[in-house]
Structure 1
Amino acid sequence: MKTVWPYVRIVAALLALAALARQLTREIATAQAATTEWGRDIPTAVSNFFSFFTTLSGLIAAIVLLIAAGWMLRTRRSDDTEPRWLAVLLAYASTYMITTGIVYNLLLRNIPSHSATEAWTSETLHVVLPIVMLLDVLFAPRRRSLGWGTALLAVVFPLAWGGYTLVRGPFITDPFTATPYWYPYPFLNPNTSSWASVGLYVAAIAAAIVVISLIVVGIGRLRGARKRH
C-alpha cells in the first residue's frame, strides 16, 4: 500500500484535471459557437465555470492529491506520519469532494444540464473522484490524527463560496437562456424558489459538510489510535 498509494493519488489527480480541462474547453467552445450576444460572452462562461463548487472542489482535490503524492514519494523510506498541514489539506479536500458526490447524486443527477456537459467529465468529478477521496480517507498510509476543531473549520470555505454565489448571481446574465441572473445550482436560485428555501438548503449543506468533516477526522483519529496500539 505504501508503494502503490502515491501513484493512485497521481492517477486520480490527473484524471480530475483532464476532466476539468475538457469541461472548460467545452464551455469556451459553446460560448464561441453561440448565436446571441450573451452566449458569446467568453469571460462570463469561464468565470461561471469556476463558480461551480464541483469545479473548485475538484481542483482543490487534484492539487492536494499531487502534493500528497509528491510528499509520499520524497519520504518513501520513512514511516513517519504526514505533516499536520498536509493532513489538514487532505481532510478538507476529502470533505468537499465527498460532499460534492453526495449532493450531486441526491439532488442534481436527474436535472438537465446545458449542452457543454459531457458524461465522462461529469461522472469523473461527481462519482470517481469522490470515491477515490473516500478510499484515501479509509486506506491511505501514514495518515495523521487531527483534532476535532479542524473538522469544524471545514465549513469556512463552502460558506464563503455560498456568499460569493448569492452576491454574484443577480449581476450575471445567463449565457444560455439570457435570463438576468445566474446561479450554478437550481437550489441556490431565489428567483425560482424563495430565499427561505435557499437558506434551508445552505444550512443543510453546511451541516452536512460539518458532519462529513467530523467523520473524516474521526476515521483519521481511529486509524491513528489503532496504529499506536
Structure 2
Amino acid sequence: MTTWWPYARLAAAVLAVAAIVAQLARSIEVAQSADTDYGRHMPTVIANFFSFFTIESNVLAAVALAIGGIWALRQKDAKLVEPRWLAVLLVCASTYMIVTGVVYNTLLRGIPLPQGSTVPWSNEVLHVVIPLIMLLDVLFAPRRRALGWGTVGIAAIFPIVWVVYTLIRANLVIAPATGNPYWYPYPFLDPHQSGGYVAVSLYVLLIAAIIIGAAALVVWVSRRRGAHVTVAD
C-alpha cells in the first residue's frame, strides 16, 4: 500500500480539480447566457462559486492529497511518518470533506437546482467520491501521524470563519439567478426561509456538532493508527 497510495492520492487530487473546473465552467456559461446585468456579473458569480463550503473543502482536499502524494513519493523510508503540518492539513481536509458528504446526502440531495446549472458527474465527485476517498485515506493511508486532541480545535477554525463570512457577505450581493438582494450558498443558512434566524442557528449548531464530531473521529483514528509507528519531524 505504501507504494501505490501516493499515486491514488494524486489521481484523486486531479479528479477533484477536474470536477471543480467543470462546474466552474458551467456556472460561467450559465452566467454568460443570463438576460440581466446582475445575472451576468462575473465577479459575483465567481465569488459565489468559491464561497460554497463544498468547493472550498474540495480545493483544500485536492491540495492536501497532492502534497501528501508528492511527500510520500519523495520520502523513500517507509518507516518515516508524515510531518505534523501535513498531518494537520490532512485532518482538516478529511474532516471538511466527510462533513460535506454527510450534510449534502442528508440535507441537500433532494433540493431541486435550476435546470442545466449543475454538471451531474462533477456534483457526485465533489459530494460523494472525494468525501469517500478522504475517509478511506483516514482509515487506510500508510505513514499517518498520531496527533493531539488540540487538532480538533484547529479543524474547527475554518468552518467558524466561513459561517461568519457567509452571513456577513450574504446581504452585500445580489443573487445572480433570482435578483434577490441577498445570496446564501445553502438554503439552511437563509433566514428568509421558514424559521428565520432561529432555524439558521439550529442548523449551524447541528453542523458545528457534526464538524467537531468528525474532527474528533479523524483525530482518534490518527491516534489509534499512528501509535505504532516511529514519529519523526
* Band of TM-score, shorter chain: over 0.9
Name the amino acid aligned to 2:22: R
Q: Could you say if the C-alpha distance between residues 227 and 83 of structure 1 is closer, same or farther in structure 2, counting changes exceeding 3 Å?
A: closer
Match of 2:20 in 1: 20
Which letter maps to 1:189? D
Q: Superposition pairs for residues 41-120 of structure 1, below 5 Å? A: 41-114=41-114, 115-120=116-121
For residues 134-158 of structure 1, give each alpha carbon's deviation from its aligned partner in whole angstroms, at most 9, with x where no partner exists.
0000000000000011112211100
TM norm structure 1? 0.97
Find the counterpart in structure 2 of residue 161 from structure 1.
Answer: 162
Tell me the residue number matched to 2:175.
174
1:204 aligns with one of 190, 194, 206 = 206
Unaligned runs of 5+ in 2: none
Q: Give the whole-Å Cα distance in 1 for the aligned partners of 2:88 and 2:131.
A: 17
Structure 2 Cα separation of the partners of residues 226 and 83 of structure 1: 16
The residue that corresponds to 2:123 in the other structure is: 122
CA drift of 1:227 comes to: 4.7
Percent of aligned positions with the same letter in both sequences? 54
Name the aligned partner's letter for residue 3 of structure 2.
Answer: T
What's 2:141 paired with? Answer: 140
Taking only aligned residues, the RMSD between alpha carbons, in angstroms, comes to 1.1
Instruction: Tell me the alpha carbon deviations over residues 44-70 of structure 1, each in whole angstroms, 9 at most, x when there is no partner.
Output: 110000000000000000011000001
Take 1:43 and 1:152, find their aligned partners in 2: how far apart are those partners?
Answer: 33
* Amino acid in structure 2 at the alignment position of 1:222: R
**Normalised by the size of structure 2, how large is the TM-score?**
0.95
Paired AA for residue 219 in structure 2: V
Q: Name the amino acid aligned to 2:180.
A: T
**How far does residue 78 in structure 1 lie from its aligned partner after superposition?**
3.8
Task: Name the CA distance, whole Å, in 2 between partners of 1:84 and 1:156.
Answer: 18
Work out whether residues 143 and 229 of structure 2, in 8 Å CA contact, stay in contact via their aligned partners in 1: no
Q: CA deviation at 1:171?
A: 1.4
Q: In 1, distance between residues paired with 2:189 and 2:92?
A: 22
Structure 1: which 5+ runs fail to align? Answer: none
SS of the residue 2:227 aligns to: helix
